C-alpha cells in the first residue's frame, strides 16, 4: 500500500509528504536511532516519539517509507523543512505506537 493510502486510513496528520506514492511494506517501532538504523527494514513505517532533526537522516538512510510520530508528538519547523527537502515523509498520529502498529498490520 502507498503512504497516502495508509495516512488516509489511519487519519494521520501530515507534517510533510514529499513522497506520497512510496510503498509501505512493514512497520518498526523504536526511539533509539542506531537501533532503528540496524533493525528497521526499507519500506517500513517507522513509529517513534523521537522528534529531533536527526530522525530525518535516519529515515532517509534506512529508506523507511514514512515516519509516524505517535501520541501527538510534533516536530519543529526546521525538521519539517529538512524532511521535505530530503524526500522524507512525516505524519503525526494521536494514538500510541501499539494501536497504530496494529492498524497497519491489519492493512498490510
Partner 1 sequence: MGEPLVFTYNVDGGDFTSAGQASVMVKKNLSQIGFSPEVIRRVSIAMYEGEINMVIHADGGVATVQVNDDCIEIILADKGPGIADVEKAMQEGFSTAPDEVRGLGFGAGMGLPNMKRYTDEMSIDSTVGVGTTITMKVNF
Q: What is the full DSSP assignment across 14-63?
A: EEE-S-TTPBP-EEEE---HHHHHHHPPTTEEEEES--STHHHHHHHHHT
Nearer to partner 1, 10 or 15 (CB): 15
Nearer to partner 1, 10 or 22 (CB): 22
Residues of this chain that interact with partner 1 (CB under 8 A) are 31-35, 37-38, 42, 50, 52-58, 60-63, 78, 86
The CB-of-76 to partner 1 minimum distance in angstroms stands at 11
Query: Are 22 and 6 contacting, i.e. CB atoms less than 8 angstroms apart?
Result: no
The CB-of-61 to partner 1 minimum distance in angstroms stands at 5
Amino acid at each position: 500500500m502507498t503512504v497516502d493510502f495508509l495516512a488516509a486510513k489511519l487519519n494521520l496528520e501530515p507534517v510533510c509528504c514529499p513522497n506520497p506514492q512510496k510503498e509501505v511494506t512493514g512497520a518498526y517501532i523504536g526511539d533509539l536511532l542506531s537501533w532503528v538504523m540496524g533493525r528497521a527494514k526499507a519500506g517500513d513505517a517507522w513509529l517513534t516519539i523521537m522528534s529531533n532533526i536527526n530522525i530525518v537522516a535516519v529515515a532517509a538512510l534506512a529508506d523507511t517509507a514514512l515516519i509516524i510520530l505517535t501520541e501527538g508528538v510534533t516536530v519543529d519547523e526546521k525538521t519539517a523543512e529538512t524532511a521535505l527537502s530530503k524526500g522524507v515523509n512525516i505524519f503525526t498520529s494521536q494514538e500510541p505506537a501499539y494501536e497504530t502498529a496494529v492498524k497497519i498490520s491489519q492493512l498490510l
